[in-house]
Structure formats: structure tokens, C-alpha cells
Structure 1
Amino acid sequence: MTSKLYHLFQTEDFLADDDFLRFVKYSYPDDVIFWSNWTEKSPENIQAYRNAVIQLKLILSDSEIVVSPSLRENLLADINASINQFERKRKRKRIRTIWLSGAASIILVATCLSWYFLSTVVVRADYAEDLLVHLPDGSEVRMNKNSTLSYARAFNWKARREVSLDGEAYFKVKHLNLTPDQIKRGELFVAVTNGVAVQVLGTEFNLKDRHHKTNVTLIKGKIQVQSKKTGRQYMLRPGELIDFDQEGVTVQKTQTAEAQTAWLSGKLIVSQTKVSDILQEFEDLYGYTVIVDNPALLQKKIDGAISIRSEESLLFTLKNILDVDIKKEGKTIYLKNRN
């Protein structure tokens, strides 16, 4: 920070500076010492600095910030001083122009801030498409096909880092907690689905939510998973996973953590898995409707690893395992027994 020419900054420069933003938002001890020393030098642009602090605190605060009478008087004095630069006969016109433009600026700024703090960023991975999303805090989210991720546009300014997921994604959450026994504003990360809320500080985990069923698999770190339906909380350790049904109740799980994250390498690992479940996964990932002419095939169980890198590879495997013919008509696929 010492290399920056803060004594030349205007209000907008302070508001665009990451170190200044961190100081106002978190008040880390090192930042407090630096800015205290800087203000004690009474730089000429100290007023620009104070205005920037007020604006940021107004954004971050849930309550109204009262402007002191002395600050109000100083602002009026600045306006009067600028008026003296113009000809006397145009004084009234200039005063009107200044106030009108000021009011317009306030409305514009308020509108922009309202949009920024109330709007949401939505990222969608379409059928047959994987996406890597970099969140504003540096966390990474690898989205599986047919999944949607959403988060507040003002992500870094919220009391907690929160995202919502519909589908499946692998999270690498950046650790912001500098003090192990203290969690400050903005450090907690929460991933929310229709069924659960996953709370972490910094970790890696897989989260899947489809057809009113949720699976959470922890790879690294530590997480707390809460069922939205029952309110019960569960702590997971690395390698552990938990499933919830549509009523929010935990269900028996036979698959391993490796099976839950196999999609990252383009595979589907199955163990005594029904063909009906495999076809459901195919429909979720590629957007097809699959019709089987022999219902008994749906109950057949399969073991092994199946490639899901493309619809062709998955269909080729099923064609040979089930000994069926495949016919495509638009977005419908028919599996028919061979005569």
C-alpha cells in the first residue's frame, strides 16, 4: 500500500482501491494502523478520504448514517466557494444548476447502487456443457451439465458469501478466515439448494440437487450440512457423504466419494445401479427422453465405469451391455430389444 499515491486520490479513486475497500469492510489491525498513520499526516485530500469512508459505510450499514452538522456546513461552504467563481449576475442560475445536477447525480448513484446490491448473477451450464466459474472472492465452481448457479452481484459486500445451485457442481472455496476462532463478516461461505444449506470457510466438496434429492460429498476441509425440511445439522469429514430424500431425511448411501466426483473426469461409476437410474442421469445431462420397449430392462443392475464425455459414448455402452438397438427421433431416444 505504501507505494500508492494516496495523497493524490479523489473520492472515486479511494472507492476503486482494493486495499481501501478491505480496510473499511473488515478493519484488519494492519490496515487500521496504516490508515491511522496516513490520516495523521493531514493530507490535502483528507476530505475525499472521509467522503469515501462515509459512502462505503452507508452501503455496508443496515442503519442510516447521520451526517454531522459540521460536515454539512463544510459541503455548503464548498458550494458557496465555487459559486463565487462565476459572475454575480449568473449566481441564481448557477445555484439552480448545481442543485439540480446534484439531485440528478444522487438519483443516478442511488439507482446504480440499488441495481448493484439487489441484482443477481445467474450462470447456466446447458445440456452437454461443463463450465468453470470463478466467483468474485476467488473461489472456483466446476458446474456439471444442465446446472444453474446464482449469486448476488454484490457478492463481496454481503454479510456472507452465498450461492444457490440447481443441478450439480464441485466447489473449491477460498479460505478468507485469518483468525481460526473468529469468523468475520463476509468470511462464511454458504451453498444453498432446494434441500440443504452447506456452510464452509474454505474447503472442497461436491453438491448435487436433482429431482428433489440432494447429495453432499466432502473432499477436503470440514462442512456443516443442514436439511431445510427437518432443520437437522450434520458435520462431515473428508471422504464422507450424505444423501437427503425429498422430505429432507437422510437415506442409506452405498456409493463412495470417488463415485460422486467421477463426473469431473467424464465418468459415471455405478455399483449395482439400476438401468433406470443410469438413463435418468443421461436425460439430466443431455436433455433427451429415453423410452424402453421392455420395462424389465429398467430393473437390470450394472457395475463398472461408464464414459459420459459424450452422449454417443454413453449410448454405445448401454447398447452393448443391454443388447438393444437405438433409434433417435428429435430429442427422444428409443431402446428396443434385438430380435
Structure 2
Amino acid sequence: MNNEKIWKYINGELPEEEKASVLRWIKEKPERIAEYHRLKRDFSFSGSSDHITDESIARHYDTLLGRIQASGKKINGLFTELLKYAAVVALTFLTAYYIFSHSDQSSKDSSKVLLTQVETMAGQSSKVTLPDGTAVWLNSASSLTYAADFGQHGQREVTLQGEAFFDVTRDTLKPFKVSTSEMVVKVLGTSFNMEAYDGSDVVTTLVEGKVQINSPGGTKLSDLKPGEQITLSLATNKLEIKEVDTRYYASWKDGYIILNNVRLEDIAPKLERFYNVNMVLKNKRVKDIVINGRGLRNMPVDQLMRVLKMTYGLDYKIESSLEEITKITVY
């Protein structure tokens, strides 16, 4: 089998007819199925990565291979090659850069604006350093887009879909703007967390400094002070500002999950993104369970569920398949 096909299968890029042949190959032997599930877990629970280098790929490959060898299982040469591709996929998904062009139709000259887009897949996070030194931590299933000549023409502007924590380099001459479909945050130099997933409320939490909240059209909506959080409700189109403990909203970038009196139903969407799983809460009792605690963000999901079971008395079932993401039923 062509190694490129295996990589594209893991990456979800194969057409259906080719995907079927790779799937048949995996299903031919139980050990292939077992190792495939191991790889899927490694993709989802590998934590965060700052930069992709040959050395980091080699280290990730050695880690995956070492785990399999430690189990005492034998692997064939083809699967060894698959592990190499898996190491590349697991790392490149964390900080995948895509350069593309946008033509300006309003001008006779077809001027092009080069953009850089950084994406993270579900279950992954990544740290990005922008040209001005600003550090951005991207959470699961998020993307950040900015001009290739970022900061060179008096503006520092990025577009966010998903969740990110920003530690902005101060520059009084070049304001920093984060745009979403519903809100624009304008800062000079500050630290804040912003959530802007499709179909969800937009939430900005200020840790340090000062930010100005604007509408997409440029109308000023509010200012934020450290320790304040502003939420734009998509259902009511209203703004709410309140004081919060910022640790609960910024801890994910440091590899922790901190929960404080959060209903399981309310935190479930975030856990789904963290672990790249589908959670089904079967009844009102489990939906209303209030969760408190702190854990490692890269804790395997089966370990997390065991802790929740022992602490809150819930039960669960984990179902994995080759075709779909892992399903966790809680009851």
C-alpha cells in the first residue's frame, strides 16, 4: 500500500473509494485495528506544540514506536512507516500554515493580499508567535488569520474563529485588533482570552491591561478592566459584563483544566473540543451535575471519565470506531 494514501487517510483527505481500501487493510488484522486506535488517541491527547522541526518529528515518532514496543507487540515494516507519517500528521496539525491569495476586484490591477492562516484540529492546541512578538495560544478546533505583511503598514490585525489567549506586545503607534464575526477587540498591549466559536456566544476575558470592545462596524461597545469578562449573547444580541477569576478562562494554555461550579452540560462542548469526542448526556441528572476541580489538559479521556465516575457517581460508555470520532455516553 502507498504510504501517501495511509497519511491522507489519517488526515481525512482520501476520496471515498480509496478510503475504503485503506479501511479494509486496517481491518484485515486485529493488531492493525488496535494500533490504529492507539494512533487516534495519540493525535487527540498529544498536548500542545510550539514549532515543527525534524527533531520534534523524530522525537514524536520515537515516542509512538516506544509505546508499541513496550507492549511487546510485533509490528511490520509498513506499520513502522505509518508511524512516521503519524508523527508528522500529529505535529503538523498543531501549527498548520496555509498561504493563499485574495484578489481585489475593485481595482483594475489584480493586487493580491497574502494571508497566513494557523489552524488547530479538535483535541489539539498550539502556540504561535506573530511577527511583532505577540504570543497567541490557539485552543482546539480554532484558526487565526493575518496578513503576511502583518504590522508593516500601521495596523496589527488578526481574525479569530474559535478560542485563543493573546499576550500582546505593546506598541502605542500600532493598535492590535482581533476580529470575529460578532465583535472586534482593540488593544495596545495586554493579555486576554477570547472565545468565538461558530454558533456560540462571544466571550472576552481580560487578564492584564485594557481592551476596547467594538462592533464589526467600528462602533464602540465597552471598555474592559482586568478581571472583567464581556459576553455577547447570540440569542439576545445583548452584552453582559461581570467580574471573574481569570484562572478559569486562561489555564488551558498552560496545560490545565480548572472548573469551578460548572454544570456538566455547560462544560461538555469544551470537553468535546479538548478531546475530539462526542459526548451524549442521557438524562437531566447527569446534565445538572456540578463539576469542581483541576486536571491536566492532556489527561486521557478514559482517565478523566473514571475520575468523574468516582467523584460524582455517574456512569459512562466509550465507543470507538474507525469511521467516526469516539462517542462517550454518560448516564
What TM-score, normalized by structure 1, do the two folds share? 0.58
1:303 aligns with 2:292: yes
Tell me how far apart the structure 1 counterparts of residues 257 and 289 of structure 2 sit (CA, whole Å). Answer: 17
1:132 aligns with 2:127: yes
Tell me how far apart the structure 2 counterparts of residues 238 and 270 of structure 1 sit (CA, whole Å). Answer: 20
Q: Counterpart of 1:314?
A: 304
Which residue among 314, 318, 330 is the counterpart of 1:323? 314
Tell me how far apart the structure 1 counterparts of residues 260 and 152 of structure 2 sit (CA, whole Å). Answer: 44
Q: What secondary structure is seen at the aligned counterpart in 2 of 1:123?
A: strand
Which residue among 244, 263, 271 is the counterpart of 1:274? 263
Tell me how far apart the structure 2 counterparts of residues 254 and 328 of structure 1 sit (CA, whole Å). Answer: 40
For the 8 Å contact 1:135–1:141, the answer to whether it is kept is yes
Q: Counterpart of 1:195?
A: 182
Q: Counterpart of 2:226?
A: 238
Larger RCO, structure (CA 8 Å, separation 6 or more): 2
Gaps of 5+ in 2: 1-108
Tell me how far apart the structure 1 counterparts of residues 313 and 296 of structure 2 sit (CA, whole Å). Answer: 16
1:162 aligns with 2:153: no
Tell me how far apart the structure 2 counterparts of residues 248 and 169 of structure 1 sit (CA, whole Å). Answer: 22
Q: What secondary structure is seen at the aligned counterpart in 1 of 2:193?
A: strand
Q: Give the C-alpha shift of residue 230 in structure 1.
A: 10
Q: Give the C-alpha shift of residue 229 in structure 1.
A: 8.5
Q: Counterpart of 1:219?
A: 207
1:207 aligns with 2:194: yes
For the 8 Å contact 1:170–1:207, the answer to whether it is kept is yes
Q: What secondary structure is seen at the aligned counterpart in 2 of 1:157?
A: coil
Q: Give the C-alpha shift of residue 198 in structure 1.
A: 0.6
Q: Give the C-alpha shift of residue 255 in structure 1.
A: 4.3
Tell me how far apart the structure 1 counterparts of residues 244 and 267 of structure 2 sit (CA, whole Å). Answer: 14
For the 8 Å contact 2:228–2:243, the answer to whether it is kept is no
* Higher-helix-fraction structure: 1
What TM-score, normalized by structure 2, do the two folds share? 0.59
Tell me how far apart the structure 2 counterparts of residues 162 and 229 of structure 1 sit (CA, whole Å). Answer: 15
Tell me how far apart the structure 1 counterparts of residues 196 and 267 of structure 2 sit (CA, whole Å). Answer: 16
Q: Give the C-alpha shift of residue 191 in structure 1.
A: 0.7
Tell me how far apart the structure 2 counterparts of residues 270 and 253 of structure 1 sit (CA, whole Å). Answer: 18
Q: Which runs of 4+ in 1 moved over 6 A?
A: none
Aligned residues: 217
Q: Counterpart of 2:45?
A: none
CA deviations 1:156-208 (Å, max 9, x no partner) are 3334110011111111111222xxxxx4xxx1110111221110111111111
Which residue among 316, 330, 333 is the counterpart of 2:327? 333
Q: Give the C-alpha shift of residue 253 in structure 1.
A: 4.9
Tell me how far apart the structure 1 counterparts of residues 171 and 232 of structure 2 sit (CA, whole Å). Answer: 29
1:285 aligns with 2:265: no
Letter in 1 for 2:315: V
For the 8 Å contact 2:277–2:328, the answer to whether it is kept is no
Tell me how far apart the structure 1 counterparts of residues 287 and 293 of structure 2 sit (CA, whole Å). Answer: 17
Which residue among 153, 169, 173 is the counterpart of 1:174? 169
